[in-house]
Structures are given as structure tokens and as C-alpha cells.
Amino acid sequence: MELGPHTARSAVPPRPHGLSRTLTRSAAVLLAGLALAAAAGCGDQTSAQDARKADPAVVAKAQAALRQLSGETLSKGPNGETAAKADSISLTPQEIQQVKAKGATAAIAMHTGGDDWSRAQINGLQTEFKRLGIKVIAVTDANFNASRQVSDIQAILARKPDIIVSLPVDAVATAFVYREAEKQGVKLVFMDNSPSGMKAGKDFISTVSADNYGNGVAAAHLMAEAMGGHGTLGLVWHDAGFFVTMQRYEGFKKTIQQDYPGIQIVADKGVNANDMASAAQQAAAAILAKNPDIDAIWGVWDVPAEGILAAARAAGRDDLQIVTEDLGLNVAISMAQRGAIKALGAQRPFDQGVTEAKLAAYGLLGKQAPPYVALPALPVTQRNYLGAWRQVYHQPPPDILRKAAEEGA
């Protein structure tokens, strides 16, 4: 959600990049998905169907492209900056001791805390701050409300923290409160979105993001592999003008159009609503009604993909192939069950949080930081989702996912 060629609107998106909203909600949706998968028995049927129509040359091309993409960062920053790699952000043992000696405090002001992605970010931040001897004095959740986030930050500022790490709910409406923090001497690091009118290296330290363009590119190659290189495809994207979600859409669409002429995009629908699952379900239902034989649909992140999955179920399209972005619990379960979710390009939110904490330490030390840092995409398929879960969250897969994996084996 960095501001860039696609200027952010004032309206706030419902988690445009991320992972299932709560484990409780995920488990509820998931039970329905498990029942569907069991009833439909679509795993073997879909696999056999895919194998019959796959073009081996196209599949090999997609797999080679994914290997080449590994570790690369394709996104540019909101002002065209070349992204620094996260592994270039480091502190020497001496620098760590200097940071510890400062006895610094930090606050984390989230746009929302109620999803897997946000929890992983917070976990990464808290883990690294603890290693650096920086005390976290507040973690706030604005629940996508700009006014509430302003109030959160004003309350934080009364406690005089040395550091604030935040994702602005609204880059314009919240900018003034971040300027208040900067004037108070607070070191600012942003995740994904930077406030309007503020400049990295001058007003704040840096912005850290996933490689969202690269995630879109990875998802396109994964989709081509799942479709066997040909067929009809629909897109459900985030129509809110946010830089990071537009990067995903552009990376995906451009790669399909340039690299896979056998795949025809027959539907292209943008949605923007507080309930993105419902909005995406309506969009996917319309796509399926107009194109009843469509082969596949891409969703801009995992929550919209849940809506696409629901629309496919309602239409009796157990053979629809869905590729998305972000490794949320529900889509992971679908992959475990060999269901409609075939693959996705994942972010690395825990590592993003660690990187943000290190950059905050750069600020304390007066160490020069790159203005924009991005973490590479992680391609995830029905073959590697368990290992990917560990990479994304730095935690073992939850019991419900392990159970689904056993059932889907």
C-alpha cells in the first residue's frame, strides 16, 4: 500500500495483502471447505483432468521461470526506488550492544491485528525487539479505522516511545499524526504503506514490504502450470488504487499475457468492500454465470479467494482452478485437501517484522538505511504448503492443517 503511480484513495481496504483474518473464522470456514472436499471427491478427478490437458513444454517453462524467480525481488518502491533485499539489513554484535545500552522503547501501531499476516508481523517485531533489548510498550489495532489509529498513536506518543512501527490505515488522513511523532523525535518504520508527503531518510527510516509485483508474477507462472498452459481465465482484483495490490494485479496479468498466449483472460473484475470475501464471491459468481465453462480464476489475496471458492461451490464447479496470493489457513487447507486452490505466491510477514525491527535499530544508531526494502515471493503449491507454512510463520503448521494434510495424502 505504498503510495506511487496508483494514488491511494481515502477509503481503507480490508487487509489487501493478507492472510486469513482470524484462526477462529478460518476454522469455521474451513470446516465447510473440508466437508465440500470430502463430498466432491474432487482431488483425484481434478488432477487427472489437469494431466490430460497439460502442455508439458508450458509446464516446464513455468517451472523454470519459478526457479529463476527464487530469491529475486521485482518490485520497485512507491517512488521508483530499487528494492534493497531484506538480508542486506544487518547489525554487527557491537551495534547490537550499542542498541541494548540505549534501553529504548517501541510501539507497534497496526492497521488491524486480527489476521494471520498481522500476527506474524507482530511476532517477528517482538522477537527481534527482544533480541535487541528494546521494550515493546504498546501494540494497537485500529480495525481499519483511520480516526482510531490517530487516537492510538496520540496515546502512544504520550508515553514517549523511541520507536513506532506502523502500517497507516489511510496514507493521507493519518499523515499529520506521524509528523507529530517525527517532530517528537520518534524513529518511524513503516510496513507496506508510507504516509503522504513524508520522505524516507528524512521523515522516517524506511518502508518494508513484500515483493508484491514478484508475487503476482509467481502466481501467474503457478496458474499457467495448473492450467497446463491453455484455457480460459478470470481475474478478481482489488479496485482501491493501492500500490501493493495493483502491483500484484499488474504482475500477474502482464505475465499471463506476455508469456502464455494459450491462456485467454475472459473476465476481469475489480472489487472493493469491507467484506472482500463476499464481494469476491459475487464477482466470481458473475464470472461463472457469464462463462460457465471457464477453467480458472485468480484472486488478489487469500480472503477474496475464499469468496471465489464459495462461488465455485455454489455453481457446482468443483473442477475450477484457483490461484491466489498469501498463505492463509483456509487456502492452505484447500491445498491440503487437493481442492480448488492449486497454488499461491506467499509473503513472509514474520521476516518482514524482523527486518522492520532491525531498521528501527538503524534509526537509533544513526545508521543509513535504504528507503525501501522488499522480501522475495515464496511460491506455494499442493506439494510444499507445509514447509511453506513454517517459512512464512516460523511456527509449525496448526493441528487442523496437519490433519487436513493427513486426510489429503
70, 98: one domain:
no
309, 402: one domain:
yes
Residue 8 lies in a domain: no
Other residues' Cβ atoms within 10 Å of the Cβ of residue 228: 22
Q: What 3 state SS string does 357-394 have? A: HHHHHHHHHCCCCCCEEEECCEEEECCCHHHHHHHHHC
User: What's the average model confidence in pLDDT over 368-378?
Assistant: 96
Q: If we measure between CA atoms, which residue out of 406, 404, 379, 321 comes closest to residue 33?
A: 404
Structural domains of the chain, count: 2
Q: What pLDDT does residue 314 have?
A: 97
32, 145: one domain:
no
More confident residue, 159 or 243: 159
Q: What pLDDT does residue 70 have?
A: 84
Residue 308 lies in a domain: yes
396, 325: one domain:
yes
3-state helix, strand, coil in the chain (%, to 5): 50, 20, 35
Read off the CATH number of the domain in which 402 is found: 3.40.50.2300
Residue 252 lies in a domain: yes
321, 263: one domain:
yes
Give the global pTM. Answer: 0.83
Residue 91 lies in a domain: yes
370, 320: one domain:
no
275, 311: one domain:
yes
pLDDT digits (tens, 9 = 90+) for 100-146: 999 999 999 999 887 788 999 999 999 999 999 999 999 999 988 99
Residue 11 lies in a domain: no
User: What's the average model confidence in pLDDT over 189-209?
Assistant: 94
Q: With contact defined as beta carbons under 8 Å apart, do 128 and 354 qualify?
A: yes
Q: With contact defined as beta carbons under 8 Å apart, do 362 and 205 qualify?
A: yes
Q: Which helix (H) or strand (E) holds 183?
A: helix 175-183
Q: With contact defined as beta carbons under 8 Å apart, do 226 and 191 qualify?
A: no
Q: In whole angstroms, what is the distance from residue 210 CA to residue 75 CA?
A: 8
pLDDT digits (tens, 9 = 90+) for 293-336: 999 999 999 999 999 999 999 999 999 999 999 999 999 999 99
Residue 13 lies in a domain: no
Q: Which helix (H) or strand (E) holds 40?
A: helix 23-40
Domain limits for position 128: 84-210+350-375
171, 267: one domain:
no
147, 30: one domain:
no
pLDDT at 83 over 80: yes
Q: In whole angstroms, what is the distance from residue 194 CA to residue 185 CA?
A: 18
367, 382: one domain:
no
